[in-house]
Amino acid sequence: MPKIVDAEARRQEVVQAVFRIIASDGLERASLREVADEAGLAVGSVRHYFASSDELLVFSFASVIDRISGRLESALLAVEGETPGSAGQHAAVLNLLGQFLPLDEELAVDACVWMAFRHAARIKPVLAAEAERSHRAVAAIVGRLIILLSPGEAAARQSLVTEAERLLATMDGLCMHALLQPEWMTAEMCSDVLTAHLAAFAPVPATP
């Protein structure tokens, strides 16, 4: 083999360049030339790793989905490790839901990119499959969270689905507002809204 280059690492570098461009200038500016410049490569080099612009975008979409759902999954495992109703569980739940929001630089970039791709998928058919996967993955995690938070077998299955969709919608709306009106939707406001939502869903656990 010639010139030793870790192809997978290279692809990830290019994807990171895509993320930065989407976060700062929007998805429509993520052209091959812009991405190549941002990654410090030539257009031909980027095209060596990604056959077409579409392939680059789909791969980037898949990457951000994997990143986000990975974070959510591990946060959910942390919730499952806590005893139901405890203050520790409450904190773990808040941590899980916080993974949806642009609370730090890395989360903000991912949230930006995720939003951009999901909305683009409405128009670009090549992104539709990943958008489906994204929705399914996140809905599954929120659904499991709702089950963890539901007291016993009391609630009907129908109610669980509705509550999961409600929480998911609230999270996406919060994320959207935090991205689009950051001056209004501050981290503190996010926290307040989350706490209020959890309080309305189930009684706040008594502090030990």
Partner DNA sequence: GGTGTTGAAGCACGTTCGTGCTAAAAAATA
Partner DNA sequence: TATTTTTTAGCACGAACGTGCTTCAACACC
Q: Which positions touch DNA (CB under 7 A)? A: 1-5, 7, 10, 29, 31-34, 41-45, 47-49, 52-54
Taking the complex as a whole, the smallest distance from the CB of residue 104 to a second copy amounts, in Å, to 18
Token code pair at residue 15 = 């994807």
> Binding a second copy by CB under 8 A: which of 84, 143, 166, 187?
166
163 binds a second copy per the rule CB under 8 A:
yes
Characterise 152 by phi-psi region: left (phi > 0), alpha (psi -120 to 50), beta (else). Answer: left
* Cβ atoms of 55 and 49 closer than 8 Å: no
Q: With binding defined as CB under 8 A, does residue 138 bind a second copy?
A: no
Out of 79, 131, 141, 142, name the contact with a second copy by CB under 8 A: 131
Task: Indicate the residue type of 120.
Answer: A
For DNA, give the closer residue by CB, 41 or 68.
41
Shortest distance, position 58 Cβ to DNA, whole Å: 12
Nearer Cβ to a second copy (10/124): 124
If you count DSSP H runs as helices and E runs as strands, how many of each does the chain have, helices first?
9, 0
In contact, 183 and 64? CB cutoff 8 Å? no
Residue whose C-alpha is closest to residue 137's, from 58, 64, 60: 64
Under the criterion CB under 8 A, does residue 33 sit at the interface with a second copy?
Answer: no
Quick check: helix, strand or coil at residue 51? coil
Contact window for a second copy (CB under 8 A) among 5-13, 71-79, 84-92, 110-118: 110-118
Q: Are 128 and 121 in contact (CB under 8 A)?
A: yes
Residue closer to DNA (CB basis): 121 or 194: 121
Least distance (Å) from DNA to the CB of residue 151? 51
Binding site for a second copy (CB under 8 A): 25-26, 28, 115-116, 118-123, 131, 135, 139, 158-159, 162-163, 165-166, 168-174, 176-177, 179-181, 184-185, 189, 192-193, 196-197, 200-201
